[in-house]
């Protein structure tokens, strides 16, 4: 497990990184890299939307590329940051240029498997598949990475350094775990938003003004997350410590347990994982 460390990019200083696609996640990664001290002159971005390229150049000082091929030809690392539905078309078109250069390729597209990427790009292209989540746009993300067999240790470190710029990074050896990762951390922010939405509504139903209920919910969520991150104890122990016998918290927790909250979360994540498998199959149809 590796948390973001400012300025901790010693092996990347001479590397050129090309982003194919300049959307929100690419912008988040570029922002994190530049904040960590990476030379924006070594970052290339290719995108059909010229306004996006102009915005990224003005904001971060990066270079825009005339085409995907031009970006990849000059790169040590190519980050595929296009929508999953466009990945096959982009990958197949990019394959000849990648075969000439053979840079490390890092995919941040959800649901697009290593097998299909290698089929489109070429089996000999070193490939790292990643699954970031949306808080990466605030440099507070959680990203899981999986490397193909032909990726060297130095290339793994390089990929990790890029993704670490937007938060926590973890590796898995079995790519099959990426579906569970998608269900837990990939979709996970929405689960917490749902809980916050429900808590706000419940607070209002008890008579609190809407803004008061909102601010109390958000600050409570932030405080609970910080307590969990900064504690060496697991959430079960922390829960016990804030629950007095016979008190208000115990009453609320008993009601949540009786309502089946735990098995409901189990069913929800299992469903999300199953859907991840289904979408991967659809995206990878040849």
Statement: residue 153 has pLDDT above 60: yes
pLDDT at residue 3, as a whole number: 44
* Residue corresponding to tokens 């960590």: 36
Same domain as 247, residue 138: no
160 contact partners, CB below 8 Å, separation of at least 6: 2, 145, 169, 171
This prediction has a pTM of 0.89
70 lies in the same domain as 212: no
Q: 167 and 211 share a domain?
A: no
154 and 91 belong to one structural domain = yes
Q: 3-state DSSP: the chain helix, strand, coil percent, rounded to 5?
A: 60, 15, 30
Indicate which CATH number applies to the domain containing 78. 3.40.50.720
Mean pLDDT for the stretch of residues 249-274: 97
Q: Are residues 154 and 200 in the same domain?
A: no
List CB contacts of 11: < 8 A, sequence separation 6 or more: 154, 157, 158, 161
Length of the chain: 286
**Do residue 70 and residue 168 come from a single domain?**
yes
Contacts of 235 (CB under 8 A, 6+ apart): 228
Same domain, 127 and 156: yes
- Contact residues for 62 (Cβ-Cβ < 8 A; gap 6+): 30, 40, 41, 43, 44, 45, 56
Q: Can you spell out the DSSP letters for 176-220?
A: GGHHHHIIIIISHHHHHHHHHHHHHHHHHHTT--HHHHHHHHHHH
Structure tokens at 109: 């597209």
Query: What is the model's pLDDT at position 286?
Result: 53
Q: Does 5 map to a domain?
A: no
The pLDDT assigned to 11 comes to: 58
- Listed residues 147, 181, 215: the one ending a domain: 181
**Choice among 10-19, 233-242, 254-263 with the minimum mean pLDDT:** 10-19
Statement to judge: residues 62 and 139 lie in one domain: yes
238 inside domain: yes
The pLDDT of residue 253: 98
d(CA 72, CA 67): 9
pLDDT at residue number 285? 65
The band of 13, judged by pLDDT with boundaries at 50, 70 and 90, is: confident
Are 73 and 145 within one domain? yes
Domain boundary among 181, 215, 248: 181
Q: Are residues 122 and 145 in the same domain?
A: yes
Q: What is the pLDDT of residues 170-211, one digit of tens each?
A: 999 999 999 999 999 999 999 999 999 999 999 999 999 999
Residue 263 belongs to domain spanning: 188-278
Query: What CATH number is associated with residue 199?
Result: 1.10.3730.10
Q: Is the per-residue pLDDT at 8 higher than 70?
A: no
Task: Report the percent of the chain where pLDDT is more than 90.
Answer: 88
Residue pLDDT, tens place only, 213-255:
999 999 999 999 999 999 999 999 999 999 999 999 999 999 9
95-138 pLDDT per residue, tens? 999 988 899 999 999 889 999 999 999 989 999 999 999 999 99
Q: Is residue 131 in a domain?
A: yes
CA 161 to CA 166: how far, in whole Å? 10
Let me know whether 143 and 206 are in one domain. Answer: no
Average per-residue pLDDT for the chain? 93
Of 181, 199, 227, the domain-final residue: 181
- Residues 116, 43, single domain; the answer is yes
Name the domain count of the chain.
Answer: 2
Q: What is the pLDDT of residue 61?
A: 96
């Amino acid at each position: 497990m590796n948390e973001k460390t400012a300025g901790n990019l010693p092996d990347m200083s001479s590397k050129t990184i090309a982003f194919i696609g300049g959307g929100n996640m690419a912008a988040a990664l570029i922002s994190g890299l530049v904040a960590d001290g990476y030379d924006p002159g070594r970052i290339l971005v290719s995108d059909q939307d010229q306004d996006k390229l102009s915005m990224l150049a003005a904001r971060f000082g990066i270079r825009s590329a005339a085409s995907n091929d031009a970006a990849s030809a000059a790169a040590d690392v190519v980050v595929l940051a296009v929508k999953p539905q466009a990945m096959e078309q982009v990958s197949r078109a990019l394959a000849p240029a990648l075969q000439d250069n053979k840079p490390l390729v890092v995919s941040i597209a959800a649901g697009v498997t290593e097998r299909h990427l290698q089929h489109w790009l070429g089996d000999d292209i070193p490939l790292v598949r990643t699954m970031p989540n949306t808080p990466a746009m605030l440099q507070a993300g959680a990203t899981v990475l999986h490397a193909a067999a032909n990726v060297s240790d130095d290339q793994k470190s390089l990929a990790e350094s890029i993704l670490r710029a937007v938060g926590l990074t973890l590796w898995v050896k079995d790519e099959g775990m990426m579906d569970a990762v998608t269900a837990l951390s990939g979709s996970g922010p929405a689960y917490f938003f749902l809980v916050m939405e429900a808590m706000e509504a419940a607070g209002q139903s008890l008579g609190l003004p809407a803004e008061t209920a909102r601010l109390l919910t958000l600050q409570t969520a932030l405080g609970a997350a910080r307590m969990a991150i900064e504690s060496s104890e697991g959430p079960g122990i922390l829960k016990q410590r804030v629950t007095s016998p016979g008190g208000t918290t115990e009453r609320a927790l008993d009601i949540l347990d009786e309502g089946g909250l735990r098995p409901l979360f189990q069913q929800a994540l299992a469903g999300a994982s199953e859907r991840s498998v289904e979408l991967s199959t659809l995206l990878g149809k040849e």
